[in-house]
Structure formats: structure tokens, C-alpha cells
Amino acid sequence: MRRMPTVPPITRAPSAPTTTLGYALFATRWLQAPLYFGLVAAQGVYVYKFFNELWKLILRCVTGQATETYVMLAVLKLVDVVMIANLLIMVIVGGYETFVSRIGLQGHRDQPEWLSHVNSNVLKVKLATAIVGISSVHLLQMFVDVHHTSRHSLLWGTVIHMAFIVSAAILAYMSGPMAAHAERAPQQAHHEHARQEPEEKVFVPAQATARDDEPSAEERLRAARFPARKLLEDFDAEHPRSFDRDTMARLGKLDFLATHRNVVFVGPPGTGKTHLAVGLGVRACQAGHSVLFATAAAWAARLAGARDAGRLAEELAALDAHPLLIVDEVGYTPFDPETTALFFQLVAHRYERASLIVTSDRPLGRWEEIFGGPSASAMVDRLGHHAEVVRIDGDSYRMRRATSAWAD
């Protein structure tokens, strides 16, 4: 069996002086590390403050000096302290992970749910909502103790609280939908398109019906020419910094084959695009579908050969026997207008008829850097329409296993 093709290590050799300079600048992020440890000390202060307050409360209760209002106020104060401590840990862990270095909590039992998809936007929103929580506790304290609070303080407390709420809402609005929009822009544009079309296409079950004369799953796997057999089950979903697990789980059910949709994996080298594409291919083979895998360069050569022999139409028709074609590594080499035209023919021929899985280190929006000529945008349009775009972001998995990485 052939091994996975190695990605040219261009991105990792910091040879040019500009790159070295950039790396040096990037290394200065470690200057921030002590700041986070300073915040840890501040957290210690809050722990001290908490027990101090708690002790006072207990003493008052034991000596019978505690009124109901006092107890409520004291408890609110404790809640306040805990919330500020939560805010601190969020800044410490989230900030360190985002701006200094990855902590590598993947798989840790106590890994906070938000940490896996934390970025500075998420962090800002989390902080803003934490501040709203804290200010509402403060406001509640004022209202509980309303007789000892001046109208002036009450009024401004309320106004400031509203300001926090409004700014948190604005932040959430700006980071949430906009980030999602940026990621899914190509997909969404096409969904809008899709809505106008009647969605009453014939539904073919994802599981192909097996007949006696059909090849076995093993034969299909061999015929698919995967570079290595990668399974979806072996993909560590915790490794990428960001990755749409839900979409991937849905794709794993192979419904996209039945609906003749395409799948596009986009992400930097080594993040597992080929792995996921092969994983889906293997699953398709096991479900009884015929699959064919090749790199974009190999597909280009195959189609060019057919064209030169004057049998491109026959070749495209023959490929219809495979409900799934995988085109790996689109973008590693730019294509001339003739080759682009060939890809356009392939994509157009399979449009709404059969599926393609494409992997690329460039998002669809930047494919004009790969494909030249007049048919480029038409091809990207056809491919993207009815396509699930899965963006993977993070560090190369190969670099993680530094010693055995190059053996890959």
C-alpha cells in the first residue's frame, strides 16, 4: 500500500530573514506568560477574600447577630467573589491558550467545554457576559439593601448594568453571527440558492443495495486506491483548534452521497483533510459504494489523457459508475486554463448527479489563485453549490509527533 503523500515542508523552513524576524516577533508572546501567573496570584487573593467573608458570616450567625438581609447580602458577596474568580480563570486559561501557547488539555476529563473553540472573540463575549453576571449580583445587593442605598447609587447602578448588558449583546452579535458568516459564506450563498429550488429529489438510501455479483467491501477498498486506509474513528477531533464536529458527524452518515452533494475540506497542511476524505471514502466503500481516490494532479493527468485520446465524454460517463470521487490536494500546484477547463467538465458533469470530495489548503474564495482561465469561477460555483464546506484549523498533526512525523 502506498503511504500518504508528504506535504512539501515549505511552510516549516524559516530560511528567509523576514521569516526569522517574524518568528522572533512571534516568540515575544512568551513575555505575556508571567502576566497570567500574576493573575493566578490575584486568584489566590480572591480565595483569601472568600474565606474571610465566609468566616465573618458564620461568626455572625453563630452569635445570633445575623439578620435575614445580612445573610442574603453576605451570600451575594460570596457569589460575587466566586464569579470574579471564574472570570479570572477564564482569562488565565483562555488567554494563555489563545495568545501564548496551547495547554494541551485535549482529552482531559475536566477540559472546559468552551476551551476547545476559544478564540479572542469567544473570550470577549464570555468576559462580557461574566461582567453582566457580576453587575447583576451587585445590583441585587443594592436592591436587597435598598434602605441603605442612595437613589443616586441605585440609578447609576441600574444604568451601568444596562450598559454592560447592551455592550455584551453587541459583542455577542458581532462575534457570533459574523464569525459564522465568514466561515460559511460560500455555503450560505448557495443555500439561499437551494431554497428557491424544489427539494423533492428522489431519495436514494445511503446504503447501496448489495447484489451477489457485486464486489466485496474489501475489493471496493482496494479499487478505490486510497493512499492509506484512514478511518473516521481514528480521527482525533480534539486536535484541530477549530473543526465542525457536528457537520462531520452528519457527513459520516453518508447522506451527502444520496443527495449528490459535494464535500470540501479546507485547512492548513497536516490538519487531517486527506484523513477525513479517506475516512468518508472508506465508509462509503463499506456501505457498498464505489469510490475512486486520486490527487488533483493525478485527476488532471487522467482527464488530459482522455481528452487527448478524444474520449473525454466517455471517460466522464465511465466515472459515473463511482458515486464518489475524491480529489485530494487541490491547490498544491496551480492549473493552466486547459486543465481548469477539464476540472470544470468533471464538476459540471457530476453536478447533482454524483458526489465529489475535494481537499484544499485554500478556501473556495481563493481558488482563482489555483485555477486559471474563464471556466474557473463557473467551476467553483458548481462545486460549491450543494457543498458541505468543512473548515479545519490548527497545527499540523505531523508536527505533534515530531520524531515520527517525516516518516508519514
How far apart are the C-alpha atoms of 167 and 151, rounded to whole Å? 24
Q: With CB cut-offs between 5 and 8 Å by kind, which of Mg ion, ligand ADP, none does residue 272 bind? A: ligand ADP
Residue 387 Cβ vs ligand ADP, minimum distance, rounded to whole Å: 18
Name every residue whose Cβ is closer than 8 Å to that of residue 198 and which is 6 or more positions away in sequence.
Answer: none
- For ligand ADP, which is the closer residue by CB, 275 or 289? 275
Q: With CB cut-offs between 5 and 8 Å by kind, which of ligand ADP, Mg ion, none does residue 288 bind? A: none
- For ligand ADP, which is the closer residue by CB, 133 or 270? 270
Count, residues near Mg ion per rule CB under 5 A: 1
Residue 340 Cβ vs ligand ADP, minimum distance, rounded to whole Å: 22
Looking only at the bridges linking them, the beta strands covering 387-393 and 242-243 are antiparallel
Q: Which stretch binds Mg ion (CB under 5 A): 62-70, 106-114, 120-128, 266-274?
A: 266-274
How far apart are the C-alpha atoms of 180 and 192, rounded to whole Å? 16
Q: Which residues are near ligand ADP by CB under 6 A?
A: 4, 7, 230, 234-236, 239-240, 267, 269-275, 359, 397-398, 408
Using the rule CB under 5 A, is 355 a contact of Mg ion? no
Q: With CB cut-offs between 5 and 8 Å by kind, which of ligand ADP, Mg ion, none does residue 275 bind? A: ligand ADP
- For ligand ADP, which is the closer residue by CB, 77 or 230? 230
State the residue number with the nearest CB to Mg ion: 274
Residue 401 Cβ vs ligand ADP, minimum distance, rounded to whole Å: 8
Residue 66 Cβ vs ligand ADP, minimum distance, rounded to whole Å: 55
37-66 positions binding Mg ion, by CB under 5 A: none
- For Mg ion, which is the closer residue by CB, 137 or 248? 248
Residue 244 Cβ vs Mg ion, minimum distance, rounded to whole Å: 18
Residue 253 Cβ vs ligand ADP, minimum distance, rounded to whole Å: 20
Q: With CB cut-offs between 5 and 8 Å by kind, which of ligand ADP, Mg ion, none does residue 157 bind? A: none
Q: Which stretch binds Mg ion (CB under 5 A): 79-87, 187-195, 270-278, 376-384?
A: 270-278
Cβ(405)–Cβ(399) below 8 Å:
yes
- For Mg ion, which is the closer residue by CB, 187 or 274? 274
Q: With CB cut-offs between 5 and 8 Å by kind, which of Mg ion, ligand ADP, none does residue 408 bind? A: ligand ADP
Q: With CB cut-offs between 5 and 8 Å by kind, which of Mg ion, ligand ADP, none does residue 283 bind? A: none
Binding Mg ion by CB under 5 A: which of 274, 290, 345, 375? 274
Residue 348 Cβ vs Mg ion, minimum distance, rounded to whole Å: 25
- Cα 238 vs. chain centroid, distance in angstroms? 10
Q: Which stretch binds Mg ion (CB under 5 A): 151-159, 187-195, 269-277, 337-345?
A: 269-277
Residue 10 Cβ vs Mg ion, minimum distance, rounded to whole Å: 14
- For ligand ADP, which is the closer residue by CB, 96 or 397? 397
- For ligand ADP, which is the closer residue by CB, 391 or 398? 398
- For Mg ion, which is the closer residue by CB, 268 or 337? 268
Integer angstrom CA distances of residue 77 from 52, 67, 72, 157, 306: 11, 15, 9, 16, 77
State the residue number with the nearest CB to ligand ADP: 272
Task: Specify burial of residue 187 (Cβ count, 10 A radius: 0-12, 13-18, 19+).
Answer: buried
Q: Which stretch binds Mg ion (CB under 5 A): 39-47, 99-107, 112-120, 268-276?
A: 268-276
Integer angstrom CA distances of residue 110 from 89, 90, 100, 242, 301: 13, 14, 21, 19, 50
**Which residues of this chain interact with Mg ion, rule CB under 5 A?**
274
